[in-house]
Amino acid sequence: MSTVIPSRTQSPAAAPAPTARPPRLLDWRLRFGLLSLIWGFSFLLIKVGTGAYAPFQVTLGRLLFGTLVLVAAMAVKRERLPRGGRTWAHLTVAAFFLNALPFSLFAFAELTIPSTLAGICNATSPLWGMAFSLVALSEDRPTRIRVAGLGLGFLGVLTVLGAWQGFHGLDARGTALALLASLSYPVGWIYVRRTLAGTTHSHLSMTGAQLLLATAQLALITPLFTTLPAHFPVLPLLAVAALGTLGTGLAMLVQYGLVAEVGPTTAQMVTYFVPVIATVAGVTILGESLHWTTPVGAAVVIAGAALTQVRRKG
């Protein structure tokens, strides 16, 4: 569910070259707002889903519904899955770090932490991404502004967590899982950039295969750690279905459409709206409490994340 879209999108394919495109039904600004809402509400949907189903079951359902959306889109556009054992091997790794692992970690995290905190933890992905890229990507050189953004962002994390109060009232395990989930995304992005950046397959084909593999991974893991529910409460089930069809399947289609139309720099700005929407949704709909450190720290995290995306001119 990560919302960062630099040259490191959630799909293995690189951004397509500009081509003549038919007119869009919705202006890109409306689709940008829609994507922000979908991803912002995803944390609320996870919370509702884990209220009745095990985290692995929520994740499996999410991936299954999301895969069905992409498979349907591929059928409409008459696209095939990618070929080649090497491609599928790399996609298997990408599926784990970009889908199966972070989706599961967020589901487990929200058993014990508010959806608002999970949404803010997700916003730290650009910070982790920059820290890792400085080590793993030789072309990604640091600047003073970006390093300052990295430090500012993690200061914001400490503010959200109330570090000077000894993390009082905070579930350390749940928070650590959410931060690990956000950390998993840049690990996956860097792997993708190193292995699949030059692929000739389409975004839709690669992403469909990636979600298919992630679904298979969860289908193998889930029966080992959970049992089939005796009851299927409707509201949590609808939450899981919405999380998959909207928060995963539709969101990915909208995301890559934005990248192709306005470029990754503009599209990635959705990152800065998601924690705001997640906080508003958690407080107003789920009745989660809000201490002053949460919005203040979130603002600092977002500011730091924005600075890490500033590139050297020329």
Condensed to tens digits (0 to 9), the pLDDT of residues 2-22 reads 443 333 334 444 334 444 455
Task: Fill in the amino acid letter for 250.
Answer: L
How long a stretch of residues is the chain? 314
pLDDT digits (tens, 9 = 90+) for 51-60: 999 999 999 9
Count CA within 13 A, CB hemisphere, residue 19. 6
The per-residue DSSP string of 85-120 comes to HHHHHHHHHHHIIIIIHHHHHHHHHTTTS-HHHHHH
What is the pLDDT at residue 18? 43
Q: Residue 53, Cα to own-chain centre: how many angstroms?
A: 21
Closest CA to 1 of 86, 76, 58: 58
Closest CA to 274 of 143, 118, 149: 118
CA dist 313 and 53 (Å) reads: 49
What is the pLDDT at residue 45? 97
Sign, Cα dihedral of 282, 6, 242, 178: negative
pLDDT over threshold 70, residue 225:
yes
What is the pLDDT at residue 167? 55
Once rounded to an integer, what is the mean pLDDT over residues 178-201?
89
Once rounded to an integer, what is the mean pLDDT over residues 250-261?
86
CA dist 11 and 95 (Å) reads: 9
Once rounded to an integer, what is the mean pLDDT over residues 69-80?
94
pLDDT digits (tens, 9 = 90+) for 85-127: 999 999 999 999 999 999 999 999 999 999 999 998 888 888 8
pLDDT digits (tens, 9 = 90+) for 35-45: 989 999 999 99
Burial of 19 per CB tally in 10 Å (0-12, 13-18, 19+): exposed
What is the pLDDT at residue 7? 37
pLDDT over threshold 80, residue 137:
no
Quick one: DSSP state of residue 11?
S
Q: Which residue has the higher pLDDT, 213 or 230?
A: 213
CA distances from residue 159 to 9, 86, 152, 208 in whole angstroms, order as listed:
28, 44, 10, 38
Once rounded to an integer, what is the mean pLDDT over residues 123-148?
74
Q: Which residue has the higher pLDDT, 137 or 151?
A: 151
Query: Are the C-beta atoms of 301 and 155 separated by less than 8 Å?
Result: no
CA dist 95 and 108 (Å) reads: 18
Mean pLDDT of the chain: 84
Segment among 125-139, 210-224, 278-292 with least mean pLDDT: 125-139
- Block residue for tokens 């050189």: 141
CA dist 35 and 37 (Å) reads: 5
Rg of the chain on CA atoms, in Å: 19
Q: Tokens representing 72? A: 């349907």
